[in-house]
Amino acid sequence: MPKTATAPKPATGPGRPRDAEVDRKALQAAIELYAELGWAKFTLDAVARRAGIGKAAIYRRWPARDRLVADAMKAALLPPEAVIDTGTLREDLRALARSTMDHYLGPYGLAGLRLHVEARAHPGLFAELAGGIRHTRALQARAIVRHAIARGELGEQASPALILDTLLGGLLTHVLATPEEPRPEMTARSSRHVEDITAFVLTAAIAIYPPAG
**pLDDT tens track for 85-125:** 999 999 999 999 999 999 899 888 889 889 988 999 899 88
For the entire predicted model, the pTM comes to 0.78
- Exposed/middle/buried for residue 101 (C-beta within 10 Å: 0-12, 13-18, 19+): buried
Q: Which residues contact 4 (CB under 8 A, 6 or more apart)?
A: 28, 76
Kindly report the average pLDDT of the chain as a whole number.
88
pLDDT > 70 in the chain, percent: 89
How far is it, in rounded angstroms, from Cα 52 to Cα 25? 8
Residue 76 has pLDDT above 60, yes or no: yes
Where is 16: in which H helix or E strand?
Answer: none
How far is it, in rounded angstroms, from Cα 211 to Cα 48? 56
Q: How many other β-carbons are positioned within 10 Å of the β-carbon of residue 112?
A: 21
How far is it, in rounded angstroms, from Cα 104 to Cα 172? 8
What per-residue confidence (pLDDT) applies to 194? Answer: 96
Residue 3 has pLDDT above 80, yes or no: no
Hey, where are the domains in the chain? 20-76, 80-208
How far is it, in rounded angstroms, from Cα 71 to Cα 25? 13
Q: Of 181, 105, 188, nearest to 97 (Cα)?
A: 105
CATH topology of domain 20-76: Arc Repressor Mutant, subunit A (1.10.10)
Distances (CA, A) of 42 to 1, 28, 69, 124: 24, 14, 9, 17
What per-residue confidence (pLDDT) applies to 135? Answer: 85
CATH of domain 80-208: 1.10.357.10
Contact 23, 51 (CB under 8 A): no
